[in-house]
Amino acid sequence: MPDQDGPEAASKAEPEAFELAGEVVAPGARKDIELRVERLPSGPWISIPAIVMHGRLSGPTLWVSAALHGDEINGVEIIRRLLTILRPGDLSGTIILVPVVNQLGFMAGERYLPDRRDPNRSFPGTPRGSLASRLANLFMREIVARCDYGIDLHCGSDDRINLPQIRADLTDPETARLAAAFCAPLTLDSQLRDGSLREAATGAGVRVLLFEGGEANRYNEEAVSIGVAGILRVIDALEMEPPSAPATSRTSSTAHSSRWVRASRAGLFRHQVELGDRVEQRAVLGHLSDIFGRQNLAVRASVAGTIIGMRLGPRVNQGDALFHIAQTPPPGPRYAHERD
């Protein structure tokens, strides 16, 4: 692991071969590796595919993972595009790309595993637990334990869409530096969620950025493009020497807290603001009515800030999340906010 004050200084000498799951990758080479989790009842293996790009020169090790939630496919496309750009011969260090962590959820277009467990609440896992726990444990042992940094790719769920954003612990200077290099439209100073990959990896001494953007089971070109460009800039910031990390003139807004606006009753919702809009406290975000057209209730912003997540469908139950609003930092001590 690198020193906690910054990336490991690269000697620029040729590194030793890299080993993952018993497979050996020579310097300057790429290898596709299958991490076996468990057998299906019908016999074939449930596995985690990993692509290792081991650079010709020494440097840090970074993983990029997607589809930990099986219906979050924007990250799969981000990694596909990275695979067409990155070449191990150009790298100083090693990149492990994991396009689909939750293979069963991905094939079914479902967020969770077949037993309805959330793999991103199952870390660090155990080798003899549930399927989700074993998957998490394997990822920790084979991927996280070999890495200095990680980028985990996500998107909105449950009929919600997210503004492209980075969630990270900005109290750590090195993590904050990499979040700034990524330069998403918004960076949220986000606390760690119990059982999440980010929490477990951080506890193991690995710095992690979590990227959110788009919606489940659908490509969002803006989110994909921002994700690819941001990851290349992080690779550049780590001095791993990617090809032409793209510059950006965009300024990333930073928020240290966020708040959900939820439906006060069931009904049909009509929104009148869009993702990325700036709203003031008490601004009307939309209207909620019953199927008879009565009780036309205005839904208002509980705080001022930027819409970073919103519900797409009109049918809502009482308590459903309608909008996620990121706030600018308030004066005084940092306070709790919505978690990833």
pLDDT digits (tens, 9 = 90+) for 12-51: 688 999 999 999 999 999 999 999 999 888 889 999 999 9
Segments of the chain assigned E as strands: 18-20, 23-25, 29-39, 45-54, 57-65, 92-98, 149-154, 160-168, 186-189, 207-215, 253-255, 257-262, 267-271, 278-279, 284-289, 297-300, 305-311, 315-316, 321-327
Q: Which pLDDT does position 328 carry in this prediction?
A: 63
Structural domains in the chain, CATH included, are 18-253 (3.40.630.10), 256-327 (2.40.50.100)
Coil, helix or strand at residue 104: helix
- Residue ranges in the chain modelled with pLDDT below 50: 1-11, 330-340
Q: How far apart are alpha carbons 73 and 312 in whole angstroms?
A: 18
Q: Which pLDDT does position 1 carry in this prediction?
A: 47
- 197-248 per-position pLDDT tens digit: 999 999 999 999 999 999 999 999 999 999 999 999 999 999 998 767 778 8
- Helix ranges, 36-73 (H): none
| Residue 202 CA, distance from chain mean position | 14
- The CB density around residue 230, as the number of other CB atoms within 10 Å, is 27
